[in-house]
Every structure is written in C-alpha cells, then in structure tokens.
Amino acid sequence: MKNKLFLLVALLLINGVLIWQMVDRSKATPSSEPVSIVEEEIVEEELPAPTIQTAIPLQQPEHPYEKSSELVYDMETKEILYANNIDTPLGLASVTKTMTLYILMEKIEAGEITLDDTVVLSPHFFQKYQISGLASAGLKSGETYRIEDLLKAVTTVSANDAAVALAEALGGTEENFVRMMNERAHRLEMKNTTYDNATGLTMPDEYNRASARDLATLAEALITNYPQILQYTSLTGHMMPNGYYAKTTNLALEGQPAYLPYIDGLKTGYTIEAGQNFIGTGEIEGTRFLVVLQNAAPGDPNAKVAKFHRTGELVEQYVKPHIAKKNEEK
C-alpha cells in the first residue's frame, strides 16, 4: 500500500513540474507573435592612416611645379624619396580607373563578384560619352561581357566602355559607382581627391582631380592588399571576345617603345585638359617603388613617350641610389 502511495505522489510531482515548464515557456514566447530578429548593425572597419599621407619628402625640387606633379616613393621603407607639388589636386584622365581596379579587387576578395561573372552593358555609356577617338574595347550596348575581359581591357588599352561596364557591374549605375569611388577615397584618407565620373574623361561639370600623394596612397593600397593586380597591369595586350585587340598604353612594359625593365604596371592617363599622367610601379633588388607623374612634359610634342623617359630618369636619380644606400647600411 505504501509503495502505491509513493508512486502516486511521484507521478503528481512530475506532472506538476511539466505543467509549470509549459506555462513558463508560453509566457516567455507567446506562440501568437513571431519572434523578431534584430539585425546586427555593421560598422565599417576604420582603415589605419596611410603612412604616405604624413611622410615628409627626403628631397624637394629645385624648380617647384604649379600645374604638374612628380612623386617617387619606396613602399618598403614608406619614404617619399622625391616630391614636387604633390598635394595639389590635378586632373586625372584615365588614372581615374585605378580606383575602379581597387574596388573590383575588394569586391572579388569579399566574394561579392567573380572574374567569371558577366554584365550587360547598358546604353548609358553611348548616350553620355559621345566623344570621337576615346579609348574603347569596341563594346556594344545590350551585349554581355565577362568581368575578367573588362578588367583586362581597362588595364591594357584603358577602355572607357569597359570602365563604365565595370562601374555598372559593381555599383548598378555609373552615378552610384562614383559615390563608391569617393567613399573609398575618403576611407583611404585621400584628402585632395574628387571623382565626378568613372572614366576620367572631361565632361560638362565633370573633371576628376587628385594629388600625387593621394594617387600614391591608392596605388600602395591596391598593390599591398591585392598584389594579384600586377598580373593584369603587366599585360601588353588582350584579345577581347569580340575580336578587338586591346593593346597596352603603358609604353614602359616589355616590348614597348619606352621599355623600362623594372616596371610592371600600373596605370596611364591622358586628356587634353589633364595632360599626360602615369602611376608606375616596379621592383629593384626586392624594393617595390612608385613613380607618380601628373601633366608630365607639358608642351613636349612627344609627351606620350616622354613621361616614361621621365619615369626612368627619376628611378635612376632617386630610386637606385636609395636602394644602394640601403644595401650599404645592412
């Protein structure tokens, strides 16, 4: 009899506990209301201040420029070896597209886009840029193109149609992509930079500007974070699927008229308003360096080639002696 009473009490206690748990859970999460999920606020990581923005040039020019600029930079020691008017915002021309390369590499690494993805070029480019003789890859509105082909068209022939196609692939529209360009410039502390379009072409109320210091900041960030970009900037040409051969505008590369054996990129640019521009990068004895030229050799009828000759002069005058001195101090 006692055993039966004991079992009865135990059963009553167990049932009581179960009922209490059910009531408690129903109070905590009423079944009639969906559970609301609060999304975590994403705060973009602050980038460290680029060293080049605070670097004091080791050598100043005898004759300061006003409408041109030159900068030589050692990416290993973070030293500006030579500077001439490096904080004045000047016209960019197609050097603008260096920022396009940076954003594209950023999106690829984040897994938001791949080199095999495709984009359909909208009519926007042909409606806006009705300029004869501009660099292009022969793209057509409404046709589909691979991201990697567009990348190669930009790094070789500096194709404006390919640049706008990438802008639309990355930002939806050129206008929205330009906002992205300026946002990245702000994050990189490019204090004297303004982008108005994705091509660098001079248009009504659109003229991209940046200082040589800012361009070196961007180039250093691009090469440091995405060194694979050098395999594209060192290309001397690329056959597009439409049969157009995109030939490099970087005449300092191997096999070109102004060949410099240590140069493996990065970006050229020219418009009548901005003049001849070049961000060059290369490596000598393990030291990677940058040479930035804006409005190079103004007035020289052969300025297209002269800017590469000037690059070579600056390397001989500043980079090679600097490397020799470093080697002596080791």
Q: Give me the pLDDT at residue 212, please.
A: 98
- Known binding residues are 267
How much is the pLDDT for 132?
A: 81
The pLDDT > 70 percentage for the chain reads 85
Paired tokens of 45: 């990581």
Q: What is the pLDDT of residues 73-101, one digit of tens each?
A: 999 999 999 999 999 999 999 999 999 99
Least confident of 39-43, 149-153, 278-282, 300-304: 39-43
- Say which CATH topology domain 55-329 has: Beta-lactamase (3.40.710)
pLDDT of residue 48: 66
DSSP H or E run through 239: strand 237-239
Residue ranges of the annotated binding site for substrate are 267
Instruction: Specify the higher pLDDT residue, 303 or 222.
Output: 222
- Name which of 312, 226, 211, 195 is nearest 263 in CA terms: 312
Average pLDDT over residues 289-298: 96
Take residue 80 and report the two structure tokens written for it. 């500006």
Catalytic residue among 97, 107, 152, 307: 97
**pLDDT greater than 70 at residue 1:** no
pLDDT digits (tens, 9 = 90+) for 25-34: 333 333 333 3
pLDDT digits (tens, 9 = 90+) for 125-165: 999 998 888 999 999 999 999 999 999 999 999 999 999 99
31 is an active site residue? no
pLDDT confidence band for 329 (50 / 70 / 90): confident
Please tell me which residue in 94, 136, 211, 234 is annotated as part of the active site.
Answer: 94
What is the SS3 assignment for 180?
helix
pLDDT band at 47 (very low <50, low <70, confident <90, very high): low
Measured between alpha carbons, how far is 52 from 22 in angstroms, rounded to an integer?
64
- Higher-pLDDT residue of 168 and 131 is 168
- 94 is a catalytic site residue: yes
Domain ranges of the chain: 55-329
Average pLDDT rounded to a whole number, residues 237-250: 96
> Percent helix, strand, coil in the chain (nearest 5)?
40, 20, 40
Among residues 68, 69, 136, 158, which one is catalytic? 158
